[in-house]
Amino acid sequence: MAYRNIKEINYRTVPLVRRELDKQLTTMVLIQVIYTFFSILPSMIIYLILAYGNIQDLVLIAQLRLIYAIMTCLYYSYFASPFYIYVCASERFRRQLIHVISKIHLKRFQARIATVNQVIPHI
Protein backbone atom coordinates (compact mmCIF):
# COMPACT_ATOMS: atom_id res chain seq x y z
CA MET A 1 0.00 0.00 0.00
CA ALA A 2 2.86 2.39 0.79
CA TYR A 3 4.48 1.54 -2.54
CA ARG A 4 1.24 2.37 -4.35
CA ASN A 5 0.95 5.71 -2.51
CA ILE A 6 4.54 6.64 -3.37
CA LYS A 7 3.92 5.67 -6.97
CA GLU A 8 0.83 7.90 -7.09
CA ILE A 9 2.73 10.81 -5.51
CA ASN A 10 5.46 10.47 -8.12
CA TYR A 11 2.83 10.31 -10.82
CA ARG A 12 1.24 13.55 -9.61
CA THR A 13 4.52 15.41 -9.26
CA VAL A 14 5.77 14.61 -12.77
CA PRO A 15 4.93 17.50 -15.11
CA LEU A 16 2.35 16.98 -17.82
CA VAL A 17 4.90 17.54 -20.59
CA ARG A 18 7.09 14.78 -19.21
CA ARG A 19 4.14 12.40 -19.03
CA GLU A 20 3.23 13.21 -22.62
CA LEU A 21 6.79 12.52 -23.75
CA ASP A 22 6.77 9.25 -21.83
CA LYS A 23 3.54 8.24 -23.56
CA GLN A 24 5.03 9.06 -26.97
CA LEU A 25 8.17 7.08 -26.18
CA THR A 26 6.13 4.12 -24.98
CA THR A 27 4.04 4.23 -28.15
CA MET A 28 7.12 4.38 -30.36
CA VAL A 29 8.80 1.46 -28.60
CA LEU A 30 5.63 -0.65 -28.72
CA ILE A 31 5.15 -0.02 -32.44
CA GLN A 32 8.84 -0.78 -33.05
CA VAL A 33 8.58 -4.11 -31.21
CA ILE A 34 5.47 -5.11 -33.16
CA TYR A 35 7.05 -4.11 -36.47
CA THR A 36 10.21 -6.03 -35.57
CA PHE A 37 8.16 -9.13 -34.91
CA PHE A 38 6.25 -8.92 -38.20
CA SER A 39 9.24 -7.98 -40.34
CA ILE A 40 11.80 -10.51 -39.12
CA LEU A 41 9.72 -13.56 -38.21
CA PRO A 42 8.37 -14.37 -41.74
CA SER A 43 11.86 -14.26 -43.22
CA MET A 44 13.17 -16.57 -40.53
CA ILE A 45 10.33 -19.07 -41.02
CA ILE A 46 10.76 -19.23 -44.81
CA TYR A 47 14.54 -19.51 -44.44
CA LEU A 48 14.19 -22.39 -41.99
CA ILE A 49 11.77 -24.18 -44.32
CA LEU A 50 14.15 -23.75 -47.26
CA ALA A 51 17.27 -24.69 -45.32
CA TYR A 52 16.05 -27.60 -43.23
CA GLY A 53 12.94 -28.78 -45.02
CA ASN A 54 13.37 -31.84 -47.21
CA ILE A 55 11.31 -30.57 -50.15
CA GLN A 56 11.52 -32.51 -53.42
CA ASP A 57 9.02 -30.48 -55.48
CA LEU A 58 10.94 -27.96 -57.62
CA VAL A 59 7.89 -25.74 -58.16
CA LEU A 60 7.35 -25.47 -54.42
CA ILE A 61 11.03 -24.64 -53.90
CA ALA A 62 10.80 -21.90 -56.54
CA GLN A 63 7.67 -20.49 -54.89
CA LEU A 64 9.35 -20.52 -51.48
CA ARG A 65 12.40 -18.75 -52.90
CA LEU A 66 10.16 -16.05 -54.40
CA ILE A 67 8.42 -15.62 -51.06
CA TYR A 68 11.80 -15.52 -49.34
CA ALA A 69 12.98 -12.75 -51.72
CA ILE A 70 9.89 -10.70 -50.91
CA MET A 71 10.27 -11.33 -47.18
CA THR A 72 13.93 -10.30 -47.41
CA CYS A 73 12.80 -6.89 -48.69
CA LEU A 74 10.46 -6.68 -45.71
CA TYR A 75 13.38 -7.68 -43.47
CA TYR A 76 15.53 -4.85 -44.84
CA SER A 77 12.71 -2.38 -44.23
CA TYR A 78 13.19 -3.17 -40.54
CA PHE A 79 16.35 -1.07 -40.52
CA ALA A 80 14.57 2.02 -41.90
CA SER A 81 11.44 1.60 -39.83
CA PRO A 82 12.52 3.46 -36.65
CA PHE A 83 12.78 6.73 -38.56
CA TYR A 84 9.30 6.43 -40.04
CA ILE A 85 7.80 5.18 -36.79
CA TYR A 86 9.27 8.12 -34.87
CA VAL A 87 8.06 10.62 -37.48
CA CYS A 88 4.55 9.19 -37.35
CA ALA A 89 4.29 8.70 -33.58
CA SER A 90 6.11 11.67 -32.08
CA GLU A 91 5.12 15.28 -32.59
CA ARG A 92 8.34 16.42 -30.96
CA PHE A 93 10.43 14.35 -33.40
CA ARG A 94 8.45 15.78 -36.35
CA ARG A 95 9.06 19.34 -35.17
CA GLN A 96 12.76 18.65 -34.74
CA LEU A 97 12.98 17.03 -38.19
CA ILE A 98 11.25 19.99 -39.83
CA HIS A 99 13.55 22.37 -37.98
CA VAL A 100 16.67 20.52 -39.10
CA ILE A 101 15.55 20.28 -42.72
CA SER A 102 14.14 23.78 -43.13
CA LYS A 103 16.34 25.88 -40.89
CA ILE A 104 19.72 24.20 -41.15
CA HIS A 105 20.01 22.37 -44.47
CA LEU A 106 17.93 24.64 -46.69
CA LYS A 107 19.69 27.76 -45.43
CA ARG A 108 23.02 26.17 -46.25
CA PHE A 109 21.96 25.57 -49.86
CA GLN A 110 20.22 28.94 -50.22
CA ALA A 111 23.39 30.76 -49.24
CA ARG A 112 25.25 29.25 -52.19
CA ILE A 113 22.71 30.34 -54.82
CA ALA A 114 24.13 33.24 -56.82
CA THR A 115 21.93 36.16 -57.70
CA VAL A 116 22.23 37.89 -61.07
CA ASN A 117 25.77 39.09 -61.97
CA GLN A 118 27.44 37.54 -58.95
CA VAL A 119 30.07 34.85 -58.74
CA ILE A 120 30.05 31.99 -56.24
CA PRO A 121 33.48 31.47 -54.66
CA HIS A 122 34.90 27.96 -54.75
CA ILE A 123 35.46 26.51 -51.32
Look at residue 70 in the predicted model and tell me its pLDDT.
93
Burial (CB count <10 Å: 0-12, 13-18, 19+), residue 120? exposed
Q: What pLDDT is recorded for position 6? A: 47
pLDDT at res. 105: 74
pLDDT beneath 70, residues of the chain: 1-14, 16-17, 109-121, 123
Query: Residue 78, SS3?
Result: coil
Task: Specify the pLDDT at position 25.
Answer: 82
